[in-house]
Amino acid sequence: MRFAAIQADIAWESPTENFRRLRPLIASAAASATRVVVLSEMFATGFSMNIEAVSEPSDGPTIEFLQQQATLHNIWIGGSFACRDNPAELPTNRFALVAPDATTHHYDKIHPFSFANEHLAYRPGATFTTVTIDGLRCSLFVCYDLRFADEFWQRANETDVFLIPANWPDSRAHHWKSLLVARAIENQAYVVGCNRIGEAHALRYQGDSMIIDPLGQVLAAASHSESILLADLDAEAVTKTRQRFPFLADRRTQTSPQTPTLYV
């Protein structure tokens, strides 16, 4: 099954402009027999803390856009946005994944990026989400979640593909690329990482989006320019990798090391 990651610039706090820019890119990906399209984190607005300006309900214009594109092109499509159904609560950074029939699944980012004060504007999610698409089990995470390997470990046995939209700046590009490959290798799963390009508020974004196979081999990559990454992913490749190298079975996630003996 073919996956696409659309690496694009984002017009600041302008959903209408971003939807206009993305429509031809989505159409191009769909024309390449793509089944699943991944957009970046906060693809409609940029990574804004101005929640009064950018947050919207779970049936707002961003979801409407994703549903329109999904049904128009007969694809699955997703990316994150600021979701706020209850005005009395902070919004969540929500990864919405929409099916061709407009059914919507979602994951709320568990780890707000406190280094940039995201935790002051967005409340954390509390549950994992895995969606099966034509036999491929896809688990959803967002950007900063990538640094927390234990949660990927918790989903590994039920996951063939990790989908990760991001706004990851080029000052830490080495971390982004290294962690994407690490999550693929250690969990023996595909990873689709979709990062933005461009500039926003003195930050530069390099892209470096990648699609990586269960052995850590990069199947598609792009840097700095608007790009559509394409790769064919196969659940059987995950199964065969895990059978050939049964490393996941050696994890001791339910045990704790013994207290060391101290000699004085």
As a whole number of angstroms, the distance between CA 22 and CA 261 comes to 60
Write down the pLDDT at residue 186: 98
Percent with pLDDT over 90 in the chain: 94
Given a cut of 90, is residue 146 above it in pLDDT? yes
Q: Indicate if the pLDDT at residue 254 is higher than 70.
A: no
Cα–Cα distance between 115 and 175 in angstroms, integer? 15
pLDDT at 204: 97
Helices of type H across 90-192: 118-121, 149-156, 173-187
**Residue 155 to residue 139: CA distance in whole angstroms:** 7
Query: Domains plus CATH for the chain?
Result: 2-250 (3.60.110.10)
The catalytic site residues sit at 41, 109, 143
Give 170-197 pLDDT, tens digit per residue.
999 999 999 999 999 999 999 999 999 9
Q: What is the mean pLDDT of residues 203-227?
A: 98
pLDDT level of residue 252 (50, 70, 90 thresholds): confident
Does the pLDDT value for residue 253 go beyond 90?
no
The answer to pTM > 0.85 is yes
pLDDT at 50 over 60: yes
The whole-angstrom separation of Cα 44 and Cα 37 is 15
Given the DSSP bridges, would you call strands 36-38 and 76-83 parallel, antiparallel or unpaired? parallel
The per-residue pLDDT for 177 is 98
